[in-house]
Structure 1
Amino acid sequence: MKNLWLAAIGLSLTAPVAGQEQEGLLLSDVTIVNIEDGTLIANQSVLIEGTQITAVGPNVAASPKVERVDAEGRFLIPGLWDSHVHIFSSATEPDTAFPQYLINGVTGVRDMGALWPIAEQQALKARIEAGEVLGPRLVLSGAWVDARPGSWPGMFLADTPEEARSIVARVADEGWAAVKSYSMLDEPTYLALAEASEEAVLPLVGHIPEQVALRTAIEAGQNGMEHFGRIPMACSTEEQAMLDTLRTAMAAGAPLDQVFGIMASRNRIILESWDEERCRRLLAELAAAKLHVSPTLVVANFYLGNWPSADTPRMRMLPGDVREAWGEPDFRLVAMTDEVRALAQDSIALDRRTFLMAHRAGVPILASTDASFANPYLFHGFSLLDELDLYVEIGLTPREALFTATVAPPRFFSLADQDGSIAPGRRADLVLLDSNPLEGLAVLRRPRAVIAAGDYIDRAELDAMEALLLAQGE
C-alpha cells in the first residue's frame, strides 16, 4: 500500500508518495472487535483494496501483489471519530492536526466552524479523498449561524426569520453538510432556521440558543446539539424563568457584559433547582427524538486549570506561536465571575451525573472535544482519548464509550460506506491494537497501526510522525 506523508508550505498541502505501490493489503490473523455487541471474532483476515474493505473471513484469497501483514491475533476496531472540532482556525492548522489525529487512531472528524472559506475546506477534503493528502475523513458542518455581531469571525449572521431562510439557501448552495445554530439567535429566527433546514434536507445541529428552551429545540426537530450544559439547565424547575430573564434584558438592549452576567448566574440557579424527575422526563424526550448530543465534557479541564505541563509531548508537538498564545490570558477565563469559579466543581459534577443519566436513558452520544488552536489545552487527537476516558470514569463501559466514537458518528452523518462495522463495502478506516480495548481504553494511546482510507501506517511510521511533530515544535 502507498503511504502518504503530510507536508505543508503555507496553504499548500502536499503528500508525496513514499515506498512501492501495492495493489492492496491483506491483514491476517486479526481479532475483529464488534463494538455494537461487544463480541470478538478471532482468526480473521481482512482484504483492503483501494479505500474499501473487500473481503472479511477466516480464509480470504488475495493476489500475490497484495501487501500482507500478519497481525498475530491483535485486535482490529473501526477508526475513531471526533464529532466536534475546529481544524481551520488558522492557515496551517491541518499540518499539525492531521498527524495528531492519526497517531491517536482518529480517522474521521466533523469540523464545526472555520475561518477558511468553504471552497478551500472542500478542496482539502477532496485531496484527502483522492489520496493526495494523508489525513482524517472530513465532515464539513461549520455553517454556523448567529445573531449580530456574531460570537466568532466568519459566521453567517441572522437577526430575522427572513435572513435565516436566506442563509439556509446559501448554505445548501455552497454544499455544507449541515446548518449550525449558535448561541445568540432569538427564538423566531431560530425556528425559521429549523424550518428552512428541514425543507432543504439539511440536518440542524449546533448550540441551543440561549433564549430558546431545550424542549422547543426538540419540537423544532433539531438533529444534534453541541455541548452538554443546556441539558442540566433544562432539568431545572427554573429553566423558563432563566430564559425570561435573558429575553427581557436582550429585548431592552442590555450591554453584552450584562447579558454574560445573566448567563453566568444560571450556574447557581441550576444547582439549586435541578430536579431528577423532571430530568428523567426530559431525557426520555431527547432519546425518543434521537437528538444526538456532542458533550465535549473534556472542555471542563480548561476551566478547572487542568492543563498539561509545557514538557508533555502533546504540548511540545504544537507550533511555538500556538503555545505562546495559549500562555496568554484567555478572555473566557477572564470573564469568569468569582461565583462561577466557586461553583465550578459542583457544576461539573452535576453535568457528569446528568450525562450518565442521559446515556442510560438512551440519548445518543457523539464523542467530541472542541479541539482547536483557538481553544487552549484542547488537543487534536489526544483530547478525544481524554473524552473517552472521562466517559468510562463517569460510568460507561469501554464498549459503550467506544460506540460513541466509532459507530454512532458515521451513522448520524449518514455515510454510505461507514457504519462502525468491519465488513465488505465499508471504508477502510481502522485501528490495530495490541490488546482488547473492551477490557480497557489505555491501549488506544499507542496503536500498533492505523489504516486511513486504505493506507496502512505501521507503528514505526506513527513514531516517525510523532518525532516530526516534536521536531517542528522546537
Structure 2
Amino acid sequence: MMHSFKILLALALGSLVAAEVRAQSATLLSDVTIVDVIDGTLTSGQSVLIRDGLIAEVGAEISSASATRLDGGGGYLIPGLWDSHVHIFSTPNEPDTALPLYLVNGVTGIRDMGALWPIAEQQALQARIEAGEVLGPRLILAGAWVDASPGSWPGMFLADTPDEARGVVDRIAAEGWAAVKAYSMLDGATYLALAEAAHSARLPFVGHIPERVALGTAIEARQDGIEHFGRVAMACSTVEDGMLESLRTVMAEGADLAHIFEIMASRNRIILETWDESLCDAVLARMAEARMHVSPTLGVADFYTGNWPAQDAPRMRMIPAEVREAWGRPDFRLEAMTDEVRALAEDSIALDRRTFLMAHRAGVPILASTDASFANPYLFHGFSLLDELDLYVTIGLTPREALYTATVAPPRFFGLADQDGTIAPGRRADLVLLGANPLEDLSTLRAPQLVIVGGHVLDRAALDGLETMLLDRGH
C-alpha cells in the first residue's frame, strides 16, 4: 500500500518544488490581515515568520535575512481547516486522492474515524506526513471502533460483554490509537464498561450512541464526543425510552437484521410526532454542561435525498473512475430505506437542522465534520467540509461561528499542544490565505491563495498543479 504514496509525492513534487524549498528554510509572509476566529476581529498589515514548521513571530514589523519572503497582498489569514470525521483508509489507494483533495480545499487537519487498514500502516502514513515525506493534512487516528458481534463493518474491535469491552480497550491503548470509538450495536452494559475502561486508560471516549442506549446515559457515562446528529433529535422525543426499549426487546429475542432495521426506520415518524421543544432545551443544556462535543455530519442527508453532483462536476472528475463507477451502483443504504422514510425525509432533515441550531445556541460544542470516504457515495474529501460549513450558515450560524467549528474547536478538543485555533508564536504553521474576508462570506474558502501545512507553502500555482494532477488521474 505504501508504494502509492511515493508515486503521489513524485507527481506532486513537480509542481511543488518551490514549496519544498520554502519549507526547508524560514518563510516570512508579509502584509496579511490576521483573522481572529475566536473574537471576530481583523488585524491588518501583519507579518508571520515561519520556521521549522511553526509560527516563530507575528507582528507589524518583522525582518529575517534568511527567510524566503512572500507578499500576502493584504489577504486574510486564517488557521487551517479541520474535518473532524473522515475515513481515508477504506480502499488501498484512497490517501493518494484524499490527501491532495484536502489541501486544495484548505483543510490542513483531519480526524480519521474508522479504517480498513491495519493500525501500523495508518501510523506509518501519519509519521511520513509529520516528517514531510508525504504532503498531506495533519492526521488524528481515532478510528478504534468497537461494536457487538459480528460488527457493522470489517475490521472492527468486537465486544459482547463488559469483560470483553475492557480487554478491547487494553488492546486499543497498546496499539496507540487516539481514542476509543463506540459503535451502534453495543448493548448497554458493554457500552458502560467500554466508557469506564476508556476513561481509566485516559483515552477520549467518542463515537456513536448505541441504538439501545439513551443520550442521557451517554452523558452520565461521560462520552466526550458523539458522531452524527440524529440521536440528538431523538433525545428530544418524549418517548425516547419507548423507542429504545422496543429495540432492546426484539434484539433480546434474537430478531434478524431486517426486523431490527425496520424498527430503527420507524423512529423517524415517531420523533417527528413526539419531538418536544422544552424537553429539547433541557437535553441540550445537559450536553452543553457536560461539554459533549458533536460531529454533526449534516451533509450526509444529501446522499439520501439524491442531492448529488453532476457526473462532469470538477469534484467528481477528481475522484478515481472506479470509485465513481462504484458510487453509481445500487447502494445497500438506499435500498434499506422504506417508503415511509423517503416520504418523511425532508421533514426529518428539517427537524435535525432546527435541533442543530438550538444545540449551537445552547452552547453544545460543534466539530465540523463530513463522513467523507470512498465508501460513502458523494461525500468528498475536502469539498464536503466547505459544503458543511455553508450548511451551518444556511441553518443560522454566522460565518465566524461556522469557521470556529472547523478551526478552533477541533484542535482544542483533540488536546493538541501546538494548535488551538489561533495564529500566534509556537503554534503549528497550518494556515490558509484568502482573498476576501471570510467573516462576511465563506465562499472565499473555495479559492485559497496560499495553503500552508506544517510550514510547507503551497501557492496558487502549486494548488492548481495538484488539481490538474487529480483531474488527469481521474480520467
Q: Fold match, TM over 0.5?
A: yes
Q: Which amino acid aligns with 1:60?
A: I
Q: What CA distance in whole angstroms lies between the structure 2 residues aligned with 1:467 and 1:284?
A: 47
Identity of aligned residues (%): 71
**2:5–2:96 Cα contact (<8 Å) kept:** no
Q: What CA distance in whole angstroms lies between the structure 1 residues aligned with 2:5 and 2:29?
A: 36
Q: What CA distance in whole angstroms lies between the structure 1 residues aligned with 2:382 and 2:119?
A: 23
Match of 1:3 in 2: none
TM-aligned CA distance change 1:87 to 1:471, over 3 Å: same
**1:14–1:132 Cα contact (<8 Å) kept:** no
The reply on whether 1:37 has 2:31 as its aligned counterpart is no
Displacement after TM superposition at 1:11 (Å)? 6.2
Match of 1:126 in 2: 127
TM-aligned CA distance change 1:458 to 1:357, over 3 Å: same
CA deviations on 1:23-78 (whole Å, 9 max, x unpaired) are 2100001000000000001100000001100000001121x231101111100000
Q: What CA distance in whole angstroms lies between the structure 2 residues aligned with 1:93 and 1:137?
A: 16
**1:226–1:293 Cα contact (<8 Å) kept:** yes
Match of 1:363 in 2: 364
Q: Which amino acid aligns with 2:267?
A: R
Match of 2:256 in 1: 255
TM-score by length of 1: 0.97
Q: What CA distance in whole angstroms lies between the structure 2 residues aligned with 1:372 and 1:248?
A: 34
Q: Which amino acid aligns with 2:393?
A: V
Contiguous gaps of at least 5 residues in structure 1: 1-6
Q: What CA distance in whole angstroms lies between the structure 1 residues aligned with 2:4 and 2:150?
A: 30
**1:82–1:106 Cα contact (<8 Å) kept:** yes
**2:113–2:143 Cα contact (<8 Å) kept:** yes
Match of 1:439 in 2: 440
**2:54–2:429 Cα contact (<8 Å) kept:** yes
Match of 1:15 in 2: 9
Of Structure 1 and Structure 2, the greater helix share is in 2
**2:429–2:455 Cα contact (<8 Å) kept:** yes
Matches within 5 A, 1:8-407: 9-10=3-4, 12=6, 15=9, 18-19=17-18, 21-22=21-22, 23-62=25-64, 64-407=65-408
**2:46–2:59 Cα contact (<8 Å) kept:** yes
CA deviations on 1:362-383 (whole Å, 9 max, x unpaired) are 0000000000000000000000
**2:4–2:96 Cα contact (<8 Å) kept:** no
CA deviations on 1:111-137 (whole Å, 9 max, x unpaired) are 000001001000100001111110000
Aligned residues: 467
CA deviations on 1:196-215 (whole Å, 9 max, x unpaired) are 00000000000000000000
Q: Which amino acid aligns with 2:388?
A: E
TM superposition outliers: structure 1 runs of 4+ over 2 Å: 7-22
Displacement after TM superposition at 1:21 (Å)? 3.0
Helix, strand or coil at the partner of 2:133? coil
Helix, strand or coil at the partner of 1:301? helix
**1:13–1:133 Cα contact (<8 Å) kept:** no
Q: Which amino acid aligns with 1:364?
A: P
**2:8–2:96 Cα contact (<8 Å) kept:** no
Q: Which amino acid aligns with 1:21?
A: V
Q: Which amino acid aligns with 2:328?
A: G
Q: What CA distance in whole angstroms lies between the structure 2 residues aligned with 1:264 and 1:356?
A: 24
TM-score by length of 2: 0.97
Displacement after TM superposition at 1:15 (Å)? 3.0
CA deviations on 1:156-209 (whole Å, 9 max, x unpaired) are 000000000000000000000000000000000000000000000000000000
Root-mean-square deviation (CA, aligned residues, Å) is 1.1
Q: What CA distance in whole angstroms lies between the structure 2 residues aligned with 1:21 and 1:10?
A: 23
Match of 1:453 in 2: 454
